[in-house]
Amino acid sequence: MIGVTILGATGSIGTSTLDVLSRNKDKFYIVALTANNNIDKLFEQCLEHKPKYAVVVNEDAADILSKRFKAASLDIEVLSGVDSLDTVSSLDETDYVVAAIVGAAGLSSSLAAAKSGKRILLANKETLVMSGQIFMDEVAKNNATLLPVDSEHNAIYQCLQSFNGSTGLSDEVRKIYLTASGGPFRTIDLKLLESVTPEQACAHPNWSMGRKISVDSATMMNKGLELIEACWLFNASVDDVQIAIHPQSIVHSMAEFIDGSIMAQLGRPDMRTPIAYALAWPERIESGVNSLDLFAMSSLEFEQPDHARFPCIKLAEDAMRAGGIMPAVLNASNEVAVQAFLDNEIAFMSIARVVELVLAQTSFQVASDIETIIHADVTARKIACDVIASLSENHVGVK
């Protein structure tokens, strides 16, 4: 039996992972489930899945959960505090770590999993965006196994695996196509983009996801972050990766080889497929996802991205080309700007403006160690808050 720890169990990826695991109880058992502060959902999950540990970052919430377990006669140890996330990632009985915390908050525990040589099912793309080199080095140094859960990267991984069991770009690979749905605002009148609401931004046409990544999909910063993620995962350069808007979200990404062959992975837009692949690799297990009805599909379309509509893509490309701390600064400023948009403080198009202004105010530094990256993250968040405050003072791009 394989012991699985899910970081961010109460989120969208965490919930889908539990669904796949519950269909494969003969192969996996759950070591730990973690949440930030949603103890109601974590309690329900613990009641059903009976992990050995439950981690709640918020200490007061952890106390309440502990009492609830006692009252329900559940023998589950409750841990609290940020460090507990690293602890459960490194436990001996944890074989696989599902890294599904959202944002920079997931960095430390993903790194802890790499340092202790686990199989890491990586959903938290921010880990690679912030600390790509350091994380990949730790994976290699500690013989960890890294399997991408992000659907596009999982698709590329599957396409590359079909060729010699390879996991990265080689002379035989011409390019990678990273597909993108284009989100809810692909065709909306550009003038209306200034006034779209968080609810409209979170209403993704094909995927059901957490609010932060939903907004990232609407700005297409998600694709920018994924481009950076792809570069690290597959040892590719920005120019090796072609973003292709594919509104149907059926082709999850592709790899093109030098003989002109293009391998693609197709399926329903349901994260349980890449999660099941990463859990079972190199085998396959049931995921609960139904067959894709090929005969119900009218067409598969592909378009070049519109950079005027989606300025975040270029910001991400430039940050990756610049290297060093710049992708971490991109990520941190984006997290602050997305939260400000979700809190109705800034307009949708101001998300890209904030990120651009923060990057412009940041001097390049080599990302030599995690401390440097965390410092860059904290500094970028402060600058982003100042930028947002000055937008408000000048009544530019605010609600």
The residues of the shown chain that bind ligand NAD, judged by CB under 6 A, are 8-14, 35-36, 38, 57, 100-102, 105, 123-126, 150, 207, 209-210, 212-213, 271
* DSSP secondary structure letter of residue 291: P
CB 228, min distance to ligand NAD, A: 12
Instruction: Give whichever of 150 and 335 is closer to Mg ion, judged by the CB atom.
Output: 150
Which does residue 217 bind out of ligand NAD, Mg ion, none, counting CB within 5 to 8 angstroms by kind?
Answer: none
Instruction: Give whichever of 13 and 180 is closer to ligand NAD, judged by the CB atom.
Output: 13
Q: Is 242 within 8 Å of 175 (Cβ atoms)?
A: yes
Which does residue 138 bind out of Mg ion, ligand NAD, none, counting CB within 5 to 8 angstroms by kind?
Answer: none
Instruction: Give whichever of 102 and 130 is closer to ligand NAD, judged by the CB atom.
Output: 102
Instruction: Give whichever of 37 and 166 is closer to ligand NAD, judged by the CB atom.
Output: 37
CB 1, min distance to ligand NAD, A: 24
| E-state strands within 153-271 | 173-180, 241-245, 251-257, 262-266
Which does residue 89 bind out of Mg ion, ligand NAD, none, counting CB within 5 to 8 angstroms by kind?
Answer: none
CB 286, min distance to Mg ion, A: 22
* DSSP secondary structure letter of residue 294: G
CB 366, min distance to ligand NAD, A: 25
Binding mask 134-153 for Mg ion (x = CB under 5 A): ----------------xxx-
Spatial separation of the C-alpha atoms in residues 275 and 109, rounded to whole Å = 19
Which does residue 102 bind out of Mg ion, ligand NAD, none, counting CB within 5 to 8 angstroms by kind?
Answer: ligand NAD
Instruction: Give whichever of 11 and 51 is closer to ligand NAD, judged by the CB atom.
Output: 11
CB 98, min distance to Mg ion, A: 15
Residue-by-residue DSSP string for 18-72: HHHHHT-TTTEEEEEEEESS-HHHHHHHHHHH--SEEEESSHHHHHHHHHHHHHT
Spatial separation of the C-alpha atoms in residues 60 and 44, rounded to whole Å = 18
CA dihedral 266, 244, 151, 217 (to 10 degrees): -130
CB 150, min distance to Mg ion, A: 4
Which does residue 100 bind out of Mg ion, ligand NAD, none, counting CB within 5 to 8 angstroms by kind?
Answer: ligand NAD
Site for Mg ion in 353-382 (CB under 5 A): none
Spatial separation of the C-alpha atoms in residues 23 and 286, rounded to whole Å = 7
Q: How many CA atoms lie within 13 A of 285 on its CB side?
A: 22
CB 154, min distance to ligand NAD, A: 9
Instruction: Give whichever of 3 and 148 is closer to Mg ion, judged by the CB atom.
Output: 148
- Read off the amino acid at residue 294: L
Dihedral sign computed on CA atoms, order 155, 161, 167, 172: negative
Instruction: Give whichever of 138 and 150 is closer to Mg ion, judged by the CB atom.
Output: 150
Q: Is 341 within 8 Å of 348 (Cβ atoms)?
A: yes
Which does residue 273 bind out of ligand NAD, Mg ion, none, counting CB within 5 to 8 angstroms by kind?
Answer: none
Instruction: Give whichever of 10 and 12 is closer to Mg ion, judged by the CB atom.
Output: 12
Which does residue 271 bind out of ligand NAD, Mg ion, none, counting CB within 5 to 8 angstroms by kind?
Answer: ligand NAD
CB 253, min distance to Mg ion, A: 9
Distances in Å between the Cα of 68 and the Cα atoms of 10, 51, 250, 309 are: 17, 15, 43, 49
- Read off the amino acid at residue 18: L
Instruction: Give whichever of 30 and 357 is closer to ligand NAD, judged by the CB atom.
Output: 30
Which does residue 326 bind out of ligand NAD, Mg ion, none, counting CB within 5 to 8 angstroms by kind?
Answer: none
Distances in Å between the Cα of 370 and the Cα atoms of 108, 133, 134, 227, 320 are: 9, 10, 8, 21, 17
Spatial separation of the C-alpha atoms in residues 312 and 60, rounded to whole Å = 38
Distances in Å between the Cα of 320 and the Cα atoms of 14, 56, 243, 316 are: 28, 34, 15, 6
Binding mask 151-180 for Mg ion (x = CB under 5 A): xx----------------------------
User: Which residues make up the interface to Mg ion (CB under 5 A)?
Assistant: 150-152
